[in-house]
Amino acid sequence: MASDRRVALTRRSFLAGAAASCSRLERGASAPTYAAAGSDGGTGDPWRQAELIVNHLAWLGDTPERRRRELRQFYVTSFGAAQCQLVEVPLIYISSTTSASGFAPASASPDNYAAFAAAVAACNRAGGGRVIVPAGDWYCAGPITLLSNVNFHLQSGAQIWFSPNPADYAKYGLYDFGPNGKLVRTRWQGNDCYNFSSIVYAYGQHNIALTGEDQTSILNGQGGTPYDGTNTWWTWKGTAGTAGYVSGEPSEGTPNPLNMPLGSLNPTLSVAEINLIEYGTPAGGTGNAYTADSSYLPALSEAQVPISQRVFGIGHQLPPAMIEFFGCTGVLLQGYQVINTPFWQHHPIACRDLVIRNVYANSLGPNNDGFDPEACNYVLVDSATFNTGDDCIAIKSGKDTDTEFGLAQNHVIRNCTMNSGHGGITLGSELAAGIQNIFAENLTMQNQNYATNPLNIAIRIKTNLNRGGVTQNFHVRNVSLPNGINAVPSFYKPLNGSPIPADTVSTNQGGIITFDCDYSPGSDNVRIRAPVVQDITISNVNAASAAGASASCYEAIIIQGPVAEDYNGLTQPPPTVYPVQNIKVADCDFGTPADAAQPYYLYNVQGLTLDNVTIDGTIYNTTLSA
């Protein structure tokens, strides 16, 4: 169909688009020259490239230039900032499903939005420096928006309590959309739109930093604190039992009458194309489920509706990320704790040269991923700790037709601790523009909350025939799982016509290594882009069972390749669907799987090499295909 041709970019075209879009986003960057993607310094060792990436990012460390610049200090108290008093409130959600009494700023607390903004602006005008928030409790009813050459720094014992009222993040954006509010350019789950500002935001800035001194330097998004006596940011998830949600109330998953039929927004679409996007079949359907905000935004992308018409904000229920920098170069995130975030905890988009170090991402609400870099190039995650309500780290590059910022590439993740979450390190699921050259090493996936909030999967890829994209050159080594992972299965739900029977593959949790190339297929109406997953090495992963447990996982390895039968486009023949290929797992001990009869599962896989891999005491040296 015509829309197939519009959205199914070739690999060559989206690589070319990546280079073009990155050049458009540069803002006077002065970073060092880049090594070529895939470069190993001529050694043949992919880990040599990891060293080159880390070396490239040294300019974001404690350099003489940074020290000189930050001699200029701007205390927020000099701009009128004042501390707040805390009061006890009877109900605050501390995770998606648990609540207790807790503390929040008193209703008459001074709002420090203007003081913080004035300090940032003065620091930027002076050529840069450090904006300092002293120890104490500070209330802010609006976003902190960073400008170039500014380090926004929280001293030890400083806690910023951000307003939990969504309206406060639709007051100060650059784009005035009338009743929807003053919004910012953003992405929500991989799709471009205008929406509420993130709690800390920057767009197109250079050499910016958000720093603290230790885990008592706290950014508190108050995601589980009611803003109207009943509802919170987390309530918007729309899942029964989550933060007090009541079925039928407004949420991201509830049909929204403000969202118009797609045909009125793009009259060039045929009836069959509209039906496919709205209902998942050219024959059409009934109902308005596609108008739920979380479904409608990807539908706008598939329908090629311009970003200027993808306007959300007030009247909609798409919660913003906590910390989001868009199109920035030279970003340092260091030395603080973030808690109670509305949505993803950190979400840099199309950024270049970014270091996150010694940060504690500690929020257990719905979709509270710890660190989700999207379409970024040259990223270092070093010595971070994750305690999350979703994936600890999830690397992304866009969804549906929104691939203009190109690949996610050249990331190093090292020396991190994953306490709990859905996936320890995840690629996807929004990876339509592709992901390559990702290196992860020396990770402790502690799973310390195994009894109440276990880590579901250690090493994960999520994609499907909606996402597409090429995922390659992913290398992982030296991972410790002293308490294993979740050993209880959660089974994949195939579409009608799938060759895979229901309730047979535990892709949602339980596999230490899980590559799911048919991730949640029923959630995507348009399935026309075949993903490619290839060239992956994993070594020295060691798992043990938690105290009192008999199993370290449900299955050691689960690789479900793309399912060709899911294709539902209007053109024939469908695209070639390739198997997951060239995967090597070496020198690992996965402990004892709960599913002793089937310690690993493979579908549409070519060339999985197991070299000195121990599962339940048996050593495997073999190459498998399925």
| H or E element, residue 102 | strand 99-105
> Degrees (nearest 5) of the Cα angle 450, 362, 447?
20
Per cent of the chain over pLDDT 90 is 91
The pLDDT score that the predictor gives to residue 15 is: 29
Q: Assign 277 to helix, strand or coil.
A: helix
Query: Over the stretch 250-286, which tens digit does the pLDDT of each residue have?
Result: 999 999 999 999 999 999 999 999 999 999 999 999 9
The pLDDT score that the predictor gives to residue 250 is: 96
The pLDDT score that the predictor gives to residue 609 is: 98
The pLDDT score that the predictor gives to residue 44 is: 75
The pLDDT score that the predictor gives to residue 137 is: 98
* Confidence grade of residue 42 (pLDDT, cut at 50, 70, 90): low
> Strands 191-195, 182-188: parallel, antiparallel or unpaired by DSSP?
antiparallel
The pLDDT score that the predictor gives to residue 43 is: 62
Residue 613 in tokens: 């891999």
Domains of the chain (ranges, CATH numbers): 89-128+147-377 (2.160.20.10), 378-625 (2.160.20.10)
Q: Which long-range contacts (CB under 8 A, 24 or more apart) does 278-284 make?
A: 278/525, 279/525, 280/525, 280/526, 280/568, 281/568, 282/570
Arithmetic mean of pLDDT over the chain: 93
Q: How far apart are CA 502 and CA 499, in angstroms?
A: 9
With a cut of 50, say whether residue 4 has pLDDT above it. no
Among the listed ranges 42-56, 277-291, 538-552, 600-614, which one has the minimum average pLDDT value? 42-56
Measuring CA to CA, which residue among 555, 412, 395 is closest to residue 475? 412
Rounded to whole angstroms, what are the CA distances from 450 to 91, 332, 387, 546, 594?
A: 26, 32, 12, 8, 15
The pLDDT score that the predictor gives to residue 16 is: 33
Among the listed ranges 59-68, 357-366, 400-409, which one has the minimum average pLDDT value? 59-68
* Sign of the torsion angle spanned by Cα atoms 29, 33, 36, 38: negative
Q: How far apart are CA 32 and CA 123, in angstroms?
A: 25
Q: Which residue has the tokens 């870099």?
A: 373
The one-letter amino acid at 194: Y
With a cut of 70, say whether residue 479 has pLDDT above it. yes
Q: Are 445 and 425 in contact (CB under 8 A)?
A: no
Q: How far apart are CA 606 and CA 28, in angstroms?
A: 45
Q: Are 372 and 413 in contact (CB under 8 A)?
A: no
Q: How far apart are CA 12 and CA 551, in angstroms?
A: 45
With a cut of 90, say whether residue 8 has pLDDT above it. no
Residue 299 in tokens: 């539908």
Average pLDDT over residues 162-183: 98
> Degrees (nearest 5) of the Cα angle 26, 303, 199?
45
Measuring CA to CA, which residue among 323, 303, 300, 302 is closest to residue 312? 300
The pLDDT score that the predictor gives to residue 40 is: 60
Residues in the chain: 626
Average pLDDT over residues 115-120: 98
With a cut of 60, say whether residue 32 has pLDDT above it. no
Average pLDDT over residues 339-352: 98
Phi then psi for residue 88, to 5 deg, are: -80, 135
Query: Over the stretch 496-521, which tens digit does the pLDDT of each residue have?
Result: 999 999 999 999 999 999 999 999 99
Where helices occur in 227-323 by DSSP H, the ranges are 271-279, 293-302
> Strands 385-388, 352-357: parallel, antiparallel or unpaired by DSSP?
unpaired
Q: How far apart are CA 236 and CA 249, in angstroms?
A: 9
The pLDDT score that the predictor gives to residue 28 is: 30
Helix axes 293-302, 271-279, angle to 10 degrees: 150
Q: What's the predicted TM-score (pTM) here?
A: 0.93
Average pLDDT over residues 415-436: 97
With a cut of 80, say whether residue 23 has pLDDT above it. no
Measuring CA to CA, which residue among 479, 475, 378, 406 is closest to residue 52? 378
Q: Which residue has the tokens 């954006």?
A: 173
Query: Over the stretch 182-199, which tens digit does the pLDDT of each residue have?
Result: 999 999 999 999 999 999
C-alpha gyration radius of the chain: 23
Average pLDDT over residues 548-556: 96
Q: By CB neighbour count within 10 A (0-12 exposed, 13-18 middle, 19+ buried), where does 53 fall? A: buried
* Confidence grade of residue 377 (pLDDT, cut at 50, 70, 90): very high
